[in-house]
Amino acid sequence: MLDIVDSMSVDGKKTFHRADYYLVKDYTDSKSTVNFIDSVINTNKAGNLGEYSDYAMIFFKESSQTNEQNIIESRQKVIDRYSIDHDEIYEYRWSNGKFLAKYEVGNGVILNPRNSIKIFDVPKR
């Protein structure tokens, strides 16, 4: 659907970042859909992963707001906040050619893997 490549210089070293965005039409939350998305990852991930300090493949379900027509009409290569908060379903990430994680996302929150970080108030002394 969309791909974005960006670069920046950190301490004089140029780094490259890439994100590929995909739209899943007629999305159903099922094992066969997950298997299909995994197969898309295996056949479509960048062949030159090592060239990117950060690489992501991000999947969105099609909706009344997140669809080809709205993306074309916006004339921007940017997924809007609504799509991220409501229609993102999976995100796969690599760093310097190494696989980092697969995230299942729902309503703008990572559902799996679950975050195990707990935040507590500092105890009074």
Domain borders along the chain are 2-112
Distance CA 10, CA 61 (A): 35
Burial of 44 (0-12, 13-18, 19+ CB in 10 A): exposed
Give the helix ranges, DSSP H, for 15-87: 31-44, 68-74, 81-82
In this prediction, residue 118 has a pLDDT band, given cuts at 50, 70 and 90, of low
pLDDT at 31 over 80: yes
Q: Are 66 and 21 in contact (CB under 8 A)?
A: no
Tell whether the model's pLDDT for residue 75 goes beyond 60. no
Residue 97: count other Cβ atoms within 10 Å of its Cβ. Answer: 13
Whole-number Å distance between alpha carbons of 69 and 73: 6
Q: What is the pLDDT of residues 40-74, one digit of tens each?
A: 999 999 989 989 999 999 999 999 888 888 877 77
pLDDT higher than threshold 60 for residue 77: no
pTM of the model: 0.80
Model pLDDT, residue 4 = 75
Statement: residue 23 has pLDDT above 60: yes
Please check whether residue 89 is in contact with residue 60, taking contact to mean a CB–CB distance below 8 angstroms.
yes
Which range has the worst mean pLDDT, 47-56, 76-85, 105-114?
76-85
What tokens does 49 get?
A: 């992963």
Distance in angstroms (rounded) separating the CA atoms of residues 70 and 105: 22
